[in-house]
Amino acid sequence: MREIGCCTWIFGGEDLPAIAARATRAGLAGVEIHGDLSLDPVVAGAVFADAGLAIWSITPGDADISHPDAAVREAGLDYYRRLIDWSDALGHAPRIGCHGLVGRIRPVSDRDEDAILADSVARICAMAGDRRICFEILNRYESHQVRRVDQGLALLDRVGAANLFLLPDAYHMNIEESDPAAALRAGGDRIGLYHLADSNRGAVGEGHVDFAAQFAALQAIGYAGPLILEPAAPGPDPFSTDKGPGYRDRLEAILARSVRAIRALGH
């Protein structure tokens, strides 16, 4: 059976022991921790270890690494530099997620921002040493860059770093890919992590994503990593986790239903 976890950022600013308790009750085996540098990584690592939960990966905070303004870009790269140091204190070497500024859906100049992105990602990979960097593929409502697996593969080829992999997400693929399962197969062994939520960003099996096909594709390419759930509670504003009173309880229920649906599919 595959290991299943969730991103911790979905619970907003809830304290880590409460998040660990929710993950355990939902039947999860680990988490993707939010790269909030205000958290003490030693304490964070201990909280999840004490709960018997692995920390497989890190969701980065927002940082604009493809902005044509060098000062903006350097601030983003400095965040990743500090994030990599922060990750060392978690107790092991989790995968580190990477993406551009969420919500920048159009270029801000006539410069080649794809080239700028590739240069920044190459620098992050160099900072990371032998740690895995997983570039997350977003959708058109969150980014104007790298929205499909084929574009992600082109980025990997352009960067040429051995420690760079792709992070496709079933929810984003539902918007951008004509055949998400085929996209996963095309990604092959260059896929380093996988996120999932259904087409409505809700529980697995409660939208129209064909998860049986995607799981078969992951099996075919030999993906051995965890399934990282990243749903949102129902409600307004897709860029805010807070959907009103009780939203964290609703998220916990979504996670539990997702685990049951994944197990029912034989995974």
Residues classed as catalytic: 136, 230
Q: Which amino acid is at 241?
A: T
Tokens linked to 44? 């964070």
Q: Is 52 exposed, middle or buried (0-12, 13-18, 19+ CB in 10 A)?
A: exposed
CB 41, CB 86: distance < 8 Å: yes
Intra-chain end-to-end CA distance of the chain, in Å: 5
CB 217, CB 185: distance < 8 Å: yes
Query: Cα(158)–Cα(8) distance, rounded to whole angstroms?
Result: 31
For the chain, what is the radius of gyration of the CA atoms? 17
Cβ neighbours for 45, distance < 8 A, ≥ 6 positions apart = 55, 89, 90, 91, 92
